[in-house]
Amino acid sequence: MTEVQVIQKDGKPAFYVVPADIWDKVRSVIEDADDVAAFDRAVANDDGDRIPAEVAFAIAGGANPVKAWREYRGFSQEALADAAGLSKPFISQIERGKRSGTTETLKKLAAALSAHLDTLV
């Protein structure tokens, strides 16, 4: 049995001093429990929204979000325009930043791209 030192304050245990070999074992158990708790919190707060790395890197590199999603989905501008009920020149203008599009337009694009509206703004 390993000796644990108890340090008291006002007649009550205030600290426990344990040998390093015991602490190493206890610490790994505590860290594992913290990891499980963090994972459980992440699962509980998961909204299901995912942005693929290819899209995220393209946007971070300066690409317009509509263009990044369009290319990720493998659409031409014409195919996206058809799917969203918009014109190809309008898609081009949005992708080049010449026009921003209304909320309704962006909703159509999000639906055609199977993306959340927030990821296009």
> Where exactly are the structural domains of the chain?
5-44, 53-120
What confidence score (pLDDT) does residue 1 get?
A: 55
Q: What is the pLDDT of residues 37-94, one digit of tens each?
A: 999 999 999 887 889 999 999 999 999 999 999 999 999 999 999 999 999 999 999 9
What is the reported pTM? 0.65
Q: What pLDDT, on the 0 to 100 scale, is given for residue 49? A: 81
CATH label, 53-120, candidates 3.40.630.40, 3.40.50.300, 1.10.260.40, 3.40.309.10 = 1.10.260.40
> Which two tokens mark 56?
């995220």
11 Rama class: left (phi>0) / alpha (psi -120 to 50) / beta: left
